[in-house]
């Protein structure tokens, strides 16, 4: 069927569309209907069905005779190792881990935080938690202890599962001390922790609290899959919002599996048994959906890659992995391709490998610039598809669904809306804008299965952050437009979120950290354009009256403070001291105007500006830092 026919079929009868998609999932008890709208505008899907996430991702494939198929390939150019785990082995490992967790008291509904690098045990931990009907929350390894502490206090986990360390190129990152520090900072204390010791930096275990990953599983009985209601949370994933308090995106069990499974063939164009590789991290939504649950639920082989696009050992790593493991569909972030392109513009490494298995490449996480897409298409000779989604939705809102139809790509556009998403472009008053006009991108509610039904313990915040600006719609936080043929163009965020190397970060959270510096009176953090990472954060700080310290000293302390409080992933390296910040007469800091100055793009002086002369001072300060960059 064509894309248009499928989209239309969904629009005509969403209930029938999703009930049919649900047939591909294994249920202990089938749901009586798809949409549950009694609490609209809070919607749920398949609530009265009974099923288990881990059963769908693992056990059912073993029962169907696919036990010998490889489920997970761990490819770690950093340690120089490759390991393969079949579905049957995965079932055995996950059932035993779940049994050991249960023996320590983990039950349905308990939260378990997972703080692990790119090792297969991270997926095993996720699957073991969902096997018990418990709820995991994976925290990205590049975050600092304080960020982990905030998540511990919000999720109140019974247990934390961590590795002793992660491995960055040329650097071992000890995770265990970060975990200890986070637990010390947090008001909530987990009952116990499980530590996977890695030989690069074994950790000292805390008596009475920490258990060794292998030792605590010895003799544990295999746990069966616990069937849960369709609207039981499978996981919570924290993502950046406007403030330092991250949003706990909740994912319900049934909609998650139904939707992800649907995307594997229809969007990513893979058949069960084929190899699917998302070069992301389990700490991000892409890792949840397309390293773990999507490919496994659909019976694909997934790759857990512990490396970087360049430097591990070279800019040919991606092509080596694709060729060695016969990857059919590859998913990465534009920034990763930009890093490869910078080192190997002519594609010398590409020529060294047989990439005949590769059918298509998908890019997301940030806007894909046309240059990068064209370079990748020329090098790889397969469709390179930009597609748009968010942690909140868990899978693509817009894409070119190659499994349905090879629609033409339009450079600069992530494609057309996927079934389930009725995407509109709205003006400030909520009225719909015609094609070509820039506005807020919103989705008519209900959002489809698998998207966030609420925020963890924060329904009021869910309503105010997403549902109240445009009644009847979910506000995506992105601005853009659509063309005459319905292709979407995503241009910018409408809030304080920036995208640094495909990582979603909050400038508001960084401002909170800067404001806590004793010499800082006032500050702003803006996202400035960067050729490699898409955007980089840049701080502007005003010092307290009477502070006579050297600006460079305060700036260095600010940089160190953001790294310590948020983590290295924030990539906060540049800041400057200014006398004053430009504001509106009502006192709002003009961040977008400063970002335009830094990027060297034309801007209008806002009519509401209090003192336009301040913009000259900002221009001079940014100029001294090298902005706009040439
Ligand atoms: N654990 C600990 N530290 C981590 C980490 C982790 N899991 N991930 C990143 N970091 C650290 C890095 O070591 C680096 O630290 P440094 O300041 O000491 O150098 C810092 O966080 C920034 O890391 P990163 O964003 O990876 O930048 P980089 O300069 O090391 O590499 C790229 C640049 C473009 C190669 C890299 O950002 C990349 O591969 N991006 C793709 C991102 C991606 O796939 N995103 C998922 C969305 S689909
Ligand atoms: P995350 O929640 O980390 O997936 O980040 C989601 C945000 O990243 C979106 O709201 C967009 O701002 C941005 N984003 C993701 N994919 C794209 C894309 N293909 N084009 C433009 N922006 C994107």
CATH code, domain carrying 525: 3.30.300.30
pTM, entire model:
0.95
Q: Residue 18 and residue 259: Cα distance in Å, rounded?
A: 8
Instruction: Count how many domains the chain has.
Output: 2
- Where does the pLDDT of residue 163 fall: very low under 50, low under 70, confident under 90, or very high at 90 and above? very high
The residue whose C-alpha atom lies closest to atom 23 belonging to ligand 1 is 569
Assess whether pLDDT exceeds 80 at residue 243.
no
pLDDT of residue 94: 98
Q: What is the pLDDT of residues 81-124, one digit of tens each?
A: 999 999 999 999 999 999 999 999 999 999 999 999 999 999 99
Would the pLDDT of 492 be above 90?
no
Question: Which tens digits make up the pLDDT trace of 273-290?
Answer: 999 999 999 999 999 999
Note whether residue 396 is domain-resident: no
User: What CATH number corresponds to the domain at position 169?
Assistant: 3.40.50.980
Percent of the chain at pLDDT above 70? 100
How do beta strands 301-305 and 327-332 pair? unpaired
pLDDT at position 459, please? 97
Residue among 247, 388, 440, 487 whose CB has most ligand 2 atoms within 8 A, to mutate: 388
Nearest-CA residue for atom 15 of ligand 1: 568
What 3-state class would DSSP assign to 129? Answer: helix
Q: What is the pLDDT of residue 447?
A: 98
Instruction: Specify if 26 maps to a domain.
Output: no
| Residues 410-438: tens digit of each pLDDT | 999 999 999 999 999 999 999 999 999 99
Quote the ligand 1 centre to 560 CA distance (angstroms): 17
| Ligand 2 pocket, residue 535 CB under 6 Å | no
% pLDDT > 90, the chain: 96
Preceding peptide of 41 cis, ω within 30°? yes
Pick the last residue of a domain from 226, 243, 258. 226
Gap from CA of 255 to ligand 2 centroid (Å): 21
In-domain check, residue 41:
no
CA of 154 to the centre of ligand 2 (A): 25
Instruction: Quote the domain boundaries for residue 509.
Output: 501-624
444-491 confidence digits (pLDDT tens): 999 999 999 999 999 999 999 999 999 999 999 999 999 999 999 999
Look at residue 587 in the predicted model and tell me its pLDDT. 86
- Among 162, 195, 226, residue at a domain's last position: 226
| Whether pLDDT at 626 is above 80 | yes
Q: How far, in Å, CA of 333 to CA of 425, rounded?
A: 25
Within a domain: residue 475?
A: no
pLDDT at 64: 98
Domain for residue 192, yes or no?
Answer: yes
Q: What ligand has the least distance to the C-alpha of 310?
A: 1
- Residue whose CB lies within 8 A of the most ligand 2 atoms, among 281, 285, 390, for a mutation test: 390
CA of 569 to the centre of ligand 1 (A): 6
At residue 244, does pLDDT exceed 90?
no
Nearest of 236, 21, 48, 27 to residue 130 by alpha carbon: 236
Q: How many residues are present in the chain? A: 630
131 falls within a domain: yes
To test the pocket of ligand 2, the residue of 140, 248, 283, 365 to mutate (highest count of ligand atoms within 8 Å of its CB) is 365
What does the pLDDT look like over 123-139, one tens digit per residue?
A: 999 999 999 999 999 99
pLDDT, the chain, mean: 97
Taking CA atoms only, the protein residue closest to ligand 1 atom 45 is 502
- List pLDDT tens digits, range 556-608: 999 999 999 999 999 999 999 999 999 998 888 999 999 999 999 999 999 89
Among residues 226, 259, 277, which one ends one of the domains? 226
Contact 125, 116 (CB under 8 A): yes
Average pLDDT for 54-65: 98
Sign of the CA dihedral with 481 first, then 487, 493, and 498 last: negative
Please tell me the distance from the alpha carbon of residue 145 to that of residue 333, in angstroms, as a whole number: 26
Q: Report pLDDT for 496.
A: 86
Q: Is the CB of 390 under 6 A from ligand 2?
A: yes
Q: Comparing C-alpha atoms, which of 51, 50, 26, 62 is closest to residue 222?
A: 62
Q: How many CA atoms lie within 13 A of 82 on its CB side?
A: 7
In ligand 2, which atom is closest to the CA atom of 477? 10
Inside any domain, residue 552 = yes
Q: Report residue 58: phi and psi, to 5°.
A: -130, -70
Domain contains 338: no
């Amino acid at each position: 069927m064509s894309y248009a026919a499928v989209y239309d079929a969904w629009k005509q009868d969403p209930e029938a569309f999703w009930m049919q998609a649900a047939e591909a999932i294994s249920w202990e008890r089938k749901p009586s209907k798809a949409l549950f709208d009694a609490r609209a505008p809070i919607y749920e899907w398949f609530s009265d069905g009974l099923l288990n996430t881990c059963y769908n991702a693992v056990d059912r494939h073993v029962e169907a005779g696919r036990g010998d198929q490889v489920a997970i390939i761990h490819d770690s150019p950093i340690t120089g190792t490759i390991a393969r785990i079949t579905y049957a082995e995965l079932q055995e490992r996950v059932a035993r881990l779940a049994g050991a967790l249960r023996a320590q008291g983990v039950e349905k509904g308990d939260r378990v935080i997972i703080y692990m690098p790119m090792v297969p045990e991270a997926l095993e931990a996720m699957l073991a938690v969902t096997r018990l009907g418990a709820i995991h929350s994976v925290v990205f390894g590049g975050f600092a202890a304080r960020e982990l502490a905030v998540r511990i206090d919000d999720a109140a986990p019974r247990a934390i599962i961590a590795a002793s360390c992660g491995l960055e190129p040329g650097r071992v990152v000890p995770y265990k001390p970060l975990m200890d520090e986070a637990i010390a900072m947090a008001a909530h204390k987990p009952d116990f922790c499980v530590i996977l010791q890695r030989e690069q930096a074994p950790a000292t275990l805390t008596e009475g609290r920490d258990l060794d990953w292998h030792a605590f599983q010895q003799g544990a009985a295999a746990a069966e899959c616990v069937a849960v209601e369709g609207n039981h949370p499978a996981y919570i994933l924290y993502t950046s919002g406007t403030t330092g308090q991250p949003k706990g995106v909740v994912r319900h069990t049934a909609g998650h599996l139904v939707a992800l499974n649907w995307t594997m063939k229809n969007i990513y164009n893979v058949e069960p048994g084929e190899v699917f590789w998302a070069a992301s991290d389990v700490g991000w939504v892409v890792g949840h959906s397309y390293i773990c649950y999507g490919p496994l639920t659909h019976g694909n082989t997934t790759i857990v890659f512990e490396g970087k696009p360049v430097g591990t050992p070279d800019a040919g790593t991606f092509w080596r992995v694709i060729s060695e493991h016969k990857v059919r569909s590859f998913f990465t972030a534009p920034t990763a391709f930009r890093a490869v392109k910078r080192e190997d513009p002519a594609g010398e490494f590409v020529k060294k490998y047989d990439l005949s298995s590769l059918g298509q490449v998908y890019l997301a996480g940030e806007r894909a610039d046309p240059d990068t897409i064209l370079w990748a298409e020329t090098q790889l000779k397969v469709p390179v598809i930009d597609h748009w989604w968010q942690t909140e939705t868990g899978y693509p809102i817009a894409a070119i669904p190659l499994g349905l139809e090879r629609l033409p790509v339009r450079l600069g556009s992530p494609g057309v809306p996927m079934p389930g998403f009725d995407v509109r472009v709205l003006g400030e008053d909520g009225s719909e804008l015609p094609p070509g006009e820039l506005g807020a991108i919103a989705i008519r509610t209900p959002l489809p299965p698998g998207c966030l039904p609420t925020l963890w313990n924060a329904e009021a915040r869910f309503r105010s952050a997403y549902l109240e600006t445009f009644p009847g719609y979910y506000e995506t936080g992105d601005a853009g437009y659509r063309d005459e043929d319905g292709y979407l163009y995503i241009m910018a965020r409408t809030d304080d979120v920036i995208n640094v190397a495909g990582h979603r970060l909050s400038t508001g959270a960084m401002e909170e950290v800067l404001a806590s510096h004793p010499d800082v009176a006032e500050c702003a953090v803006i996202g400035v354009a960067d050729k490699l990472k898409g955007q980089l954060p840049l701080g502007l700080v005003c010092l307290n009256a009477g502070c006579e310290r050297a600006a460079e000293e305060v700036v260095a302390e600010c940089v160190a403070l953001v790294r310590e409080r948020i983590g290295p992933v924030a990539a906060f390296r540049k800041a400057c001291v200014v006398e004053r910040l430009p504001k509106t007469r009502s006192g709002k800091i003009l961040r977008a105007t400063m970002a335009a100055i830094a990027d060297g793009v034309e801007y209008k002086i806002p009519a509401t500006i209090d003192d336009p002369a301040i913009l000259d001072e900002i221009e001079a300060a940014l100029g001294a830092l090298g902005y706009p960059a040439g």
